[in-house]
Amino acid sequence: MQHIEISKILTSKPAAIEITVKGWVRSFRSNRFIALNDGSTIKNLQCVVDFENFDEKLLDKITVGAAIAVSGELVASLGQGQDVEIQVEKIEILGEADPEEVKLTILSPKRHTLETLREQAHLRIRTNTFGAIMRVRSKLAFAVHEYFQKNNFHYFHSPIITGSDAEGAGEMFRVSVLDPKSPPLNDAGEVDYKQDFFEKESNLTVSGQLEAETYAMGLGKVYTFGPTFRAENSNTSRHLAEFWMIEPEMAFFDLDANMDLAEDFIKYVVKYALDHCADDLEFLENRLLQEEKNKPQAERSEMTLRDKLKFIIENNFKRVTYTEAIEILKRSKPNQKKKFKFLIDEWGADLQSEHERFLVEKHFKCPVILFDYPAKIKAFYMRLNDDGKTVRAMDILFPGIGEIVGGSQREERYDVLLDKMKAMDISEEELYWYLDLRKFGTCVHSGFGLGFERLVQFVTGMGNIRDVIPYPRTPGNAEF
């Protein structure tokens, strides 16, 4: 008999027909009540066993973590916590789980720290917390595609292996088939990449932006949504070496249109999560409330998780120039009392997470879009303003996260772009194709990048980015 997902059963009415469910045992109480979960919902289905009708050896195999199939009639539940339950008529053990071995894992029914869960990342999806996070992540990913498809964007697959560094950061993972112990050398005694697979030095991409720009110049509006890589040795709760990026690029969009799109996009996907992940967000909200009970009152959130998400949807993001933000930060108490780790002394400073969070959480108390940054602290491809010292860049800052979006109006003028590349020592030969865009029908165009994991972090309320991706890649860790 075809089995039915528990999420569907829990919204069904009692029926005098036999149904089959399959899942993993969360608990088995009094040799009578099985709590079964199949991953389709955070809720368990109660399966009631008349133990006198079943072989004792079979019942002994119904242990926490075991996979079983249960058949029986769906009836109105007499107990609290569920509307329906199954009166079990047949049980099949699909996969056993040794209780003694289960005790040594995070499958054991007791509270585990998030650090312990990370150490057993192959099993943590069986916990309520990670089941909820990953279902929310899945819905958010769907919402990303739905938003762009509804708005006539074309999904573009940017290359994972590249010979260019879009950020100019140089912190990239090299791709090579050369023998690392004795690579071939050229006459200058350097590694001879002409003998490598791609016949040049190649890396894992840090961004699909530059390639996406080329496609926006033919398709109008495109977006990428794929993995990107940074070889930064940042062992923090906000950084990953492998993460997913959403990068739209739009022809004929200036910075204002870019900011409008980014704000509208974020509100859409957050609302989608609220509308489609009610049970999981309720669980994650309660989890957060329990966690915050151990914090001093001053460190607790002023809003619950779902109220925070609703606030994002219902309020306009505050738009502030970099110059205005610097003045606010210079006059702020943390700066004047030297509480900031990085003090703000003058215009031109590169804002740190502590500054971004102050602006969002203490000063404006809402999401903030900062724009018109100093050219010296931004990438070469951002459009130079008429003042000659700022560029048409924008960052969106979120409470608890800091920067969640970075974008800009791109420099569409050939001469200006070429001058900027020379000033930053970026190879004209390597990026000839990027310069070509400014020679054949150039136009105003813009785009932004949003780190998907930071979005998932915000929506789920998780404090560490390693807990919103299935298998986090960080310095010293490529497990699983």
**Domain of residue 82, CATH code:** 2.40.50.140
Question: What is the pTM for the complete model shown?
Answer: 0.94
Tell me the per-residue pLDDT of 23-55, one tens digit each, with 9 for 90 and over: 999 999 999 999 999 999 999 999 999 999 999
pLDDT at 82: 87
Q: Evaluate whether residue 199 is within a structural domain.
A: no
Claim to verify: residue 259 and residue 139 sit in the same structural domain: yes
Claim to verify: residue 133 and residue 95 sit in the same structural domain: no
Q: Evaluate whether residue 408 is within a structural domain.
A: yes
Claim to verify: residue 290 and residue 382 sit in the same structural domain: yes
Among residues of the chain, what percentage have pLDDT more than 90? 88
Claim to verify: residue 297 and residue 162 sit in the same structural domain: yes
Q: Is pLDDT above 70 for 169?
A: no
Claim to verify: residue 72 and residue 158 sit in the same structural domain: no
pLDDT at 217: 97
* 3 state SS for the chain: CCCCCHHHHCCCCCEEEEEEEEEEEEEEECCCEEEEECCCCCCCEEEECCHHHCCHHHHHCCCCCCEEEEEEEEEECCCCCCCEEEEEEEEEEEECCCHHHHCCCCCCCCCCCHHHHHHCCCCHHHCHHHHHHHHHHHHHHHHHHHHHHHCCCEECCCCCEECCCCCCCCCCCEECCCCCCCCCECCCCCECHHHCCCCCCEEECCCCHHHHHHHHHHHCEEEEEEEEECCCCCCCCCCCCEEEEEEEEEECCCHHHHHHHHHHHHHHHHHHHHHHCHHHHHHHHHHHHHHHCCCCHHHCCCCCHHHHHHHHHHCCCEEEEHHHHHHHHHHCHHHHCCCCCCCCCCCCCCCCHHHHHHHHHHHHCCCEEEEEEEHHHCCCCECECCCCCEEEEEEEEECCCEEEEEEEEECCCHHHHHHHHHHCCCCCCCCHHHHHCCCCCCCCEEEEEEEHHHHHHHHHCCCCHHHCCCCCCECCECCC
Taking residues 278-292, what's their average pLDDT?
95
Taking residues 212-240, what's their average pLDDT?
93
Tell me the per-residue pLDDT of 433-451, one tens digit each, with 9 for 90 and over: 999 999 999 999 999 999 9
pLDDT at 168: 57
pLDDT at 167: 57
Residue 295 or 22, more confident: 22
CA distances from 72 to 48, 60, 64, 66, 84 (A): 9, 20, 21, 19, 12
Q: Using the 3D structure, point to which of 104, 137, 155 is the last residue of a domain.
A: 104
Taking residues 162-181, what's their average pLDDT?
81
Identify the residue whose tokens are 């958010």. Answer: 140
Q: Evaluate whether residue 54 is within a structural domain.
A: yes
pLDDT at 233: 86
Q: Evaluate whether residue 198 is within a structural domain.
A: no
Tell me the per-residue pLDDT of 306-330, one tens digit each, with 9 for 90 and over: 999 999 999 999 999 999 999 999 9
Claim to verify: residue 166 and residue 262 sit in the same structural domain: yes
State the chain's maximal CA–CA distance in angstroms: 86
Claim to verify: residue 78 and residue 166 sit in the same structural domain: no
pLDDT at 80: 82
Q: Evaluate whether residue 194 is within a structural domain.
A: no
Q: Is pLDDT above 90 for 109?
A: no
Q: Is pLDDT above 90 for 1?
A: no
Q: Using the 3D structure, point to which of 88, 104, 120 is the last residue of a domain.
A: 104
Q: Using the 3D structure, point to which of 104, 136, 154 is the last residue of a domain.
A: 104
Single out the residue of 386, 334, 396 nearest to residue 362, CA to CA. 334
pLDDT at 250: 98
Claim to verify: residue 62 and residue 136 sit in the same structural domain: no
Q: Evaluate whether residue 343 is within a structural domain.
A: no
What CATH number is associated with residue 263?
A: 3.30.930.10
Tell me the per-residue pLDDT of 383-418, one tens digit each, with 9 for 90 and over: 999 999 999 999 999 988 889 999 999 999 999 999
Q: Round to whole Å and give the CA distance between 92 and 50.
A: 15
Local confidence band at 239 (pLDDT 50, 70, 90 cut-offs): confident
pLDDT at 17: 87
Claim to verify: residue 99 and residue 147 sit in the same structural domain: no
pLDDT at 299: 78
Domain of 383, in residue numbers: 128-171+206-317+366-467
Claim to verify: residue 78 and residue 146 sit in the same structural domain: no
Q: Evaluate whether residue 15 is within a structural domain.
A: yes
Average pLDDT, the chain: 94
Claim to verify: residue 33 and residue 141 sit in the same structural domain: no
Single out the residue of 241, 245, 174 nearest to residue 207, CA to CA. 245
Number of domains in the chain: 2
Taking residues 414-431, what's their average pLDDT?
93
Q: Round to whole Å and give the CA distance between 137 and 141.
A: 6
Claim to verify: residue 225 and residue 299 sit in the same structural domain: yes
pLDDT at 92: 97
Q: Is pLDDT above 80 for 88?
A: yes
Q: Evaluate whether residue 221 is within a structural domain.
A: yes
pLDDT at 54: 94
